Amino acid sequence: MGTIRPAGNKNAALPILAATLLADGPCRIDNVPRIRDVETLLQLLQHVGATVEWHGPNTVEVDTRATEPRPLDPALCKEIRASILLAGPMLARFGRVTLPPPGGDVIGRRRVDTHFLALERLGASVSVGDAYKLEGKLRGADIFLDEPSVTGTENALMAAVRAQGTTVLRNVASEPHVQDLARFLVAMGASIDGIGTNTMTIDGGQPLRAAAHALGPDHIEIGSFIGLAAVTGGAITIDGVRADDLRSTLLAFERLGVRPRLDGTKLIVDADQERRIRPDLGGHVPKLEDGPWPAFPADLMSIAIVVATQCEGLLLIFEKLFESRLFFVDKLIGMGARIVLCDPHRAVIAGPSPLRGQVVESPDIRAGMAMLLAALAAQGDSVIQNIGQIERGYERIDTRLTALGAQIERQGS
């Protein structure tokens, strides 16, 4: 194959762009992936008065000084779930925000309660109708999130840095992208202790200045590239990784008989991996499950499933977080995979299974990338429809994989 660089972390780009609403001047963000979700969030910022200017392919400058507390565009909000990330900073800056229901992937019920319960504890009043309306003067509070929601944590954090007094956020998410947001807020002048843990203490009300920031590498994209090498038997070097972000990912792939090597900031996947699922002690069927950070990321579960279809042995997949994410396996079964879907959260995979090319559809970002990997591993041609879902999360994925030797042809515009 060859060498590829991961894009900047999509899930860090979105909250960081939202956080520019808190700055008193233009913020320059580097290593921003040019994907549909990012473009949509930037359009939302422009809708409320921000100025957006790209400097090169992956650097954007956002100036929010002229923004106004106007209602957010319902059509744009419907396109991405990340529109909800504007709730915290808009409320913190203007004392009110009207937010239409967010869109995004259909992978099961995705609660917004955690966001609004936290903002209520900070002093906001919340009314729910055709849109969510929040208003109030924010003050510090001791808050225990009812679940370690990534975007809920990010909204609470962005509101807390502007709230007067001290806020303690407990049971928070600590994924790499949450840490990246916190570091950006610190660069703006915020006081945050406990970054990377499940408790953060914020000394709020500090003036926040314009800042520059470079996004870290997308660990989900890195995991997808490991899966690409595994299912095709090829070799790949992923240049520009952050080893601390990959511990649970590498442990999971090792269980599948895929063992990449770290060399500084490079991750090397040698050709022809063993691809033998390691049973639990006593020969029991092993289980791969996801969970909040630092456990195996839910966004890599679809990739792991495709890899497991090409590995020798039995594996139980336990997807804990989303009750509809596993439904895409029927498409893999149609391609020849041996998978039993036990219930919405569990599936048993028996491999290896030769896959056949099929006409399939991309149901969401991560399942869409998984279907692309399955198509590259399959005999014959496959057609993947609804590729806009993949492009919401992966930048120029067809041209980047073609450069590695993949045979991908885009049909239509």
Residue 408 lies inside a defined structural domain of this protein: no
The residue from 181, 209, 237 where one domain ends is: 209
pTM, two decimals, is 0.94
Percent of the chain residues topping a pLDDT of 90: 86
Residue 389 has pLDDT above 70, yes or no: yes
Query: Which residue range forms the structural domain that includes residue 351?
Result: 219-402
Which active-site residues does the annotation give? 105
Nearest Cα residue to 268 out of 239, 309, 290? 239
**Which bin fits 412, alpha (ψ -120 to 50), beta or left (φ > 0)?**
left
CA dihedral 189, 194, 195, 198 (to 10 degrees): -140
Residues 122 and 140 reside in one and the same domain:
yes
What average pLDDT does this structure show over 384-405? Answer: 93
Q: Is 27 in contact with 50 (CB distance < 8 Å)?
A: no
Instruction: Please report where in the chains the tokens 């570091």 appear, as a residue.
Output: 183
Provide DSSP, 52-114: EEE-SSS-EEEE-TT---PPPPHHHHHH-GGGGGGHHHHHHHHSEEEEPPP----SS----HH
Residue 4 lies inside a defined structural domain of this protein: no
Residues 99 and 19 reside in one and the same domain:
yes
Q: Is 352 in contact with 313 (CB distance < 8 Å)?
A: no
Residues 230 and 290 reside in one and the same domain:
yes
What average pLDDT does this structure show over 27-52? Answer: 96
Residues 123 and 231 reside in one and the same domain:
no
Separation between Cα atoms, residue 82 and residue 158, nearest integer Å: 14
pLDDT per residue over 172-201, tens digit each?
999 999 999 999 999 999 999 999 999 999
Can you give the pLDDT at residue 107?
37
CATH code of the domain covering residue 123: 3.65.10.10
In the chain, how many domains are there?
2
What average pLDDT does this structure show over 364-385? Answer: 95
Residues 33 and 172 reside in one and the same domain:
yes
Residues 300 and 339 reside in one and the same domain:
yes
Residue 355 lies inside a defined structural domain of this protein: yes
Nearest Cα residue to 12 out of 190, 242, 250? 242
Residue 278 has pLDDT above 80, yes or no: yes
Residues 164 and 251 reside in one and the same domain:
no
Candidate from 12-16, 162-166, 363-367 with smallest mean pLDDT? 363-367
Residues 26 and 88 reside in one and the same domain:
yes
Separation between Cα atoms, residue 286 and residue 72, nearest integer Å: 47
Residue 364 lies inside a defined structural domain of this protein: yes
Residues 246 and 187 reside in one and the same domain:
no
Residue 409 lies inside a defined structural domain of this protein: no
**Which bin fits 352, alpha (ψ -120 to 50), beta or left (φ > 0)?**
beta
Q: How many CB atoms lie within 10 A of CB 340?
A: 12
